[in-house]
Amino acid sequence: MKRPSDTVARIWQAVRRIEARGERPTIHGVRGELLELYGAGGSLRDISPVVAAWREEQVAKAERRIAAAVAAMVELGPPLELEEVARRFKVATGDTLRLGIVRARKSRKLA
């Protein structure tokens, strides 16, 4: 019988493989990857917390990028035109702004 830590390690391996392909890991996508890797798809109950942890990891990365972008803008000194601020922010954060907005909306719903 496999230990729970082995299962979690296998799930993380599947998540990282999906991420390496440039895709966003989903519960069903991870299950399919596990099936391909190990011949067994795994329980959604086991997969779900790992995918949720991956999402939180992405949000944390996005928050760090946004904080770094804002700090860089503050250090610039003279005011910038709005378009330049938006351009620098987009370059620094990429597509991660959406994750921050989603998290903010969730926190407002919970409050």
> What's the pLDDT at 55?
92
- Exposed e or buried b per residue across 24-54, where buried means at least 16 C-beta atoms within 10 angstroms of its C-beta: ebeeebbbebbeeeeeebbeeebbeebbeeb
The predicted-structure confidence for 5-43, as pLDDT tens digits, reads as follows: 788 999 999 999 999 999 999 999 999 999 999 988 889
Contact in structure between 18 and 25 (CB atoms under 8 Å): yes
51-98 residue pLDDT tens? 999 999 998 888 888 888 777 766 666 666 666 666 666 665 555 555
Domain count, the chain: 1
Domain range for 59 is 4-110
| Mean pLDDT value across the chain | 79
For residue 51, give both structure tokens.
Answer: 């995918």
43-52, 83-92, 99-108, range with the lowest pLDDT: 99-108
pTM score: 0.62
Q: What is the pLDDT of residue 1?
A: 40
